[in-house]
Amino acid sequence: MKRTIVLCLVVILSAAHLFAAGSEEEGAEAPVELLWWSHYGPGTAAGDYMEVYRQQFEAQYPNITVELNNDAHETYIQSLPTAIASGEAPDVFAQTYRYIPTYHENGSLAPVGQVALQEFGAASIAEFEQQWAPNVLDAYRVGDNRYGLPFEYNIYAWGINTRHFREAGLDPVADAPKTWDDVIRVGKLLVQTDGGRITREAVAFPFDLSAAWYLLEFEHMVRELGGSVMNADQSECIVNSEAGIRAMQELKRRFDEGISDPDLSSISDYHNTAFPNGEFSMGIMGNWGQQRWYNTENFPGNSPGDFMAIPTPTFAGKEPATSTTGWAWVVFGDTDLEAEAWRLAHFLTSFPSENLIEVGSIVPRAGWSTTEGAKSIPDADLFEDMLQYSAPLAAYTKYAEVSEPLKRMIQEVLLSGRDIRESLDKAKAEIDQAIKD
């Protein structure tokens, strides 16, 4: 009898131990693997720091392994739509605000809901929005649905290479161009030629980049002249206005006057390497530029002060106009790991100061402008001042249908010498048809 009782106790204790061990295993988070896509590209300061974030995240959440795909921007924007259409999109990926309406319609994105709010430590949407600077989430909202966490808020002005100015006998401050006429005048002193061929452009054009970069050059000029690409309700393209014609004439004038070269611009990597390597002297500059271009590992020949931001030049008698752009980390609508995906997106946007210092991009969390990182932005006061003249770039309801015909129109005029008015009329007709289909 006593032996029977002892055996029963052994069985009960063994079962209790096994139950406890099983409970421990069930309580621990199971290992999972997230796929994350970035658009910064390898070999860039921003792209390299994404790997730092990946390692930091895995250290904090050891049950989550993150596979980072860090393609160059041009490759990224071509491969992402294919991945989304096939249902093979990454769990977390970078997305510009311009495509949010499109992906909202086809259900490709997970909206910020209860799963996301729990990861953010927010009890409500209102509490979530308080974690961010005012209005920065609006571009990622469609109706009552909110998508994505902004990690890159860009303000644009113009920039000059101060070394080029001094080499040409120019004072970077006193002689910085204030009007588009000044750009041509100063550009003729900055451009370099050999045997009648341009060897270094004064101003380049981003032919090798996406449509957004074409519009960074064109759209603000149209707006400065009182025009618009689309009408108020975006039901009709009105780019073939006098404002559109004059803006295209101004862009073409750079090539006609010999300060830009279509062949050099067509092979230029523009903001990634061409400008920081001194391949041209003036052009569009984002608030993120100088931190990256002073990176001695990527650009060992550059020193602080080699580049300077200036207000965007204007047509005589006009107020400046410039653009803002932005990207957010979004979560794929069909992910099986929504909680973990939002956890990664939240983590990636939790270090606004560090991100400014290491990556050069504004993560517009509440209070970002008072961080140590905000003090690291060269010419920060100028960029902040340009905000009063800014508008979101290419905020079209149907972005691809509008931007791609405009890109082709600009190429036709600048590279093939097509008539400006005819090309604008053609683009208008193509856009009007596309937005009706």
DSSP assignment of 243-311 equals: HHHHHHHHHHHHHHTTS--HHHHHT--TTTTTTTTTSEEEEEEETTHHHHHT-TTT-TT--TTSEEEEP
User: Residue 27's pLDDT is what?
Assistant: 54
User: Residue 66's pLDDT is what?
Assistant: 98
Kindly tell me the burial class for residue 39, based on how many C-beta atoms sit within 10 Å of its own C-beta (0-12, 13-18, 19 or more). buried
Taking only the tens of pLDDT, the chain with its 437 residues reads 444 444 443 444 344 444 444 444 455 689 999 999 999 988 888 899 999 999 999 999 999 999 999 998 889 989 999 999 999 999 999 999 999 988 999 999 999 999 999 999 999 999 999 999 888 898 899 999 999 999 999 999 999 999 999 999 999 999 999 999 999 999 999 999 999 999 999 999 999 999 999 999 999 999 999 999 999 999 999 999 999 999 999 999 999 999 999 999 999 888 889 999 999 999 999 998 998 898 888 899 999 999 999 999 999 999 999 999 999 999 999 999 999 999 999 999 999 999 998 888 899 999 888 899 988 889 988 988 888 899 889 999 899 999 999 999 999 999 999 999 999 999 999 999 999 98
CATH 3.40.50.300 holds for 32-154+325-388: no
> For the chain, which residues make up each domain, given as ranges?
32-154+325-388, 155-324+394-436
User: Residue 28's pLDDT is what?
Assistant: 65
User: How does pLDDT run across 15-53, given as a tens digit for each residue?
Assistant: 444 444 444 445 568 999 999 999 998 888 889 999 999
The Cα 311–Cα 403 span in angstroms is 25
Residue 10 Cα distances to 7, 16, 20, 140, 363, angstroms: 5, 10, 15, 61, 59
The Cα 266–Cα 411 span in angstroms is 10
193 beta partners: 198
CATH of domain 155-324+394-436: 3.40.190.10
User: Residue 1's pLDDT is what?
Assistant: 43
**Which of 272, 228, 237 lies closest to 423 in space, CA to CA?**
237
Same fold, 32-154+325-388 and 155-324+394-436: yes
Q: What does pTM read for this prediction?
A: 0.77
User: Residue 84's pLDDT is what?
Assistant: 93
The Cα 408–Cα 422 span in angstroms is 13
The Cα 27–Cα 142 span in angstroms is 37
User: Residue 151's pLDDT is what?
Assistant: 96
The Cα 269–Cα 156 span in angstroms is 18
> Under a CB-based contact definition with an 8 Å cutoff, are residues 290 and 189 in contact?
no
User: Residue 272's pLDDT is what?
Assistant: 86
